[in-house]
Structure 1
Amino acid sequence: MARLEIRDVNKSYGAQHVLRDAGLDFDEGELVTLLGPSGCGKTTLLRIIAGLETADSGAVLLDGKDISPMPPNKRNMGMVFQAYSLFPNMNAADNVAFGLQVRHTEKSGRQSRVGELLEMVGLSAFAHKYPHQLSGGQQQRVALARALAIRPDLLLLDEPLSALDARVRVQLRDEIRRIHEETGVTTIFVTHDQEEALSISDRVAVMNRGQIDQFDSPHAIYQRPATPFVAGFIGVSSCLSATVVDAGMVRVEAETFAAPAARGLAAGTAVSIYLRPEDVRLLPAAQTAQQTMARRGTVRTHTFMGAMTRVTVRLANGADIFADLATPEAGDFPAGTEIAVDWNADRAQVLPAAREG
């Protein structure tokens, strides 16, 4: 297991600033995901860690040693790419053994390690199959075994699941988590898929325009976003514009609501209230007289998601708010119904309003 530190890394391509003072500390043996939209700098940062790109400034430290000047082949890192990148003229066992052969590992030790890894990824019976004889998921398992064969200090995964279909993606995602727990190797996983990031990671670094917006556990990223970008990017949220009026109180339009997350913000501060759809309730309009947090609106659409249905409500001020309801319950609120919405004030997130541009 290795401890990795990223210190104020910057990278530009001409006038395009891809990374801006990026800094992260990775604990030994943890699985960290770099998550963000296309162009946020996550793959560039991974390639700098691997030595495939050179930072303009900053440092990459492995167990306290700056490895920035070190070539990729001296860094003892295993890497799995989006493309499987297997050698087509080698069978699965020979692909896994390749790094060990390059390092002149003794044959008996090499065969033992290959057998161990093929068993770990569930491909013992496919050792003599060639890449064209394997499915996409099987090929990616071989690539993962090959990356682990050299007992790397770090395992780097660059969107390894994006070329697979949805069912195989979920299966292999779970396999990667299981293998990580078995091996204990410090792992960095790059993806733009939020579900992958939240389900597989010990911690998630959310990247935005070359910067780290938040680095925290999946639960904290989802429940306590640190910036408007994270709140809007992770999962689904409704966003209401508001103004702080007092400690723990905000005003939306002409109504004042409790919002414990607003404590500490000065009165008059423009804020955005972010509500997760599972924290929103819908009420028949006739029951709203005593609901101090209720707001009237009209049901617009239903999005069927199996056991749950997402209901979109257009509020009187023109804002849309989402509520996730059990599908049978959603049937009580057909499109066009006049209703009211209520939400869990303790779970509402309040952040300073995002600035334009």
Structure 2
Amino acid sequence: MQFPRWAIPAAAALTASGVLLTACGQERQQNTSAGSAQQVRQPKTPANEPAAPETATLEVASVSEVGKVVTDGEGRTLYRFDKDTARPPASTCLDACAKAWPPVLANDQEVQVKGVDETLVGKVKRPDGKWQVTLGGWPLYRYAKDQSPGDAKGQGVQGTWYAAAPTGKKAGAKATQPSRPPRQAEGGGRWAGWTTIKVRQDPDLGMIVTDGKGRTMYRFDKDRPKVTNCSGDCRAKWPIVPFNGFKKLRVTGVDRSLISFIERKDGKPGECQLLINGWPMYYFAKDAQAGDTKGQAVQNVWWVVSPQGKKITTKAGGDGGYGGGY
């Protein structure tokens, strides 16, 4: 079978590790979680890491309490990782993560499929140079603690690992090692006080960044990376997106390595503002409900934000007559 072209992007460069102590009293620790992707290259492949099979195989099996899942040729459950991306495909599981979650490696041979739509199957080049099998764009992994066919001990681990369904989507909903409280309505209950970042598909603008309630985020051309130039009347019209610490951060659809913050000098002591790719994030006061993008192109300096933190300059009827705040 031929792999779809979109399944073979160039590997992206990733950030280096480090610890950042800030005036906001937050400690940012990078490259500590199993799912962190902080290096472009891996050390030499460990001896216990499985080599690429002569022919990768994808099959379908039923697992108790999970349902139909994709397995390898030996019947081992295969998984996908929420911190990876499918469009374009990209793996963020390296080093210690890849030891716990060995990637399903591919070679130049066709991937053998049984019960899986072969048009969903592809491969992606990992940052370490190896090729990894994908399903629906999602890189596939095994779980080191699964000891025999039918095991699915990786299901729900850290709230980010899930068995792959034959469609490439997540299988089941069982979480064996939840690291988060039960899901409740955004902005309420146990999620109150959290900084939540998501993305959504806007019909005119494409994929844009929002908060957990669906409120659109914006960036300002008169700012600079890590510098805000919106205060006073501007801030009243363009409220900041607060940052409440990395321990109260939920991110879906945006690379966590792009997330940082600055301490505001015009607010309460210790008040922090969210940055995406270095740019301060704001709301627009005239956006009355989730999905509104009335701030788009205001004064030709305010823009919605892509998942990469870049401005999207496509206009969507922004209220150009509004004061813009600066």
Instruction: Tell me, yes or no, whether TM beats 0.5.
Output: no
What is the TM-score when the length of structure 2 is the normalising length?
0.29
Which protein has the bigger helix share?
Answer: 1
Which protein has the bigger strand share?
Answer: 1
What is the TM-score when the length of structure 1 is the normalising length?
0.27
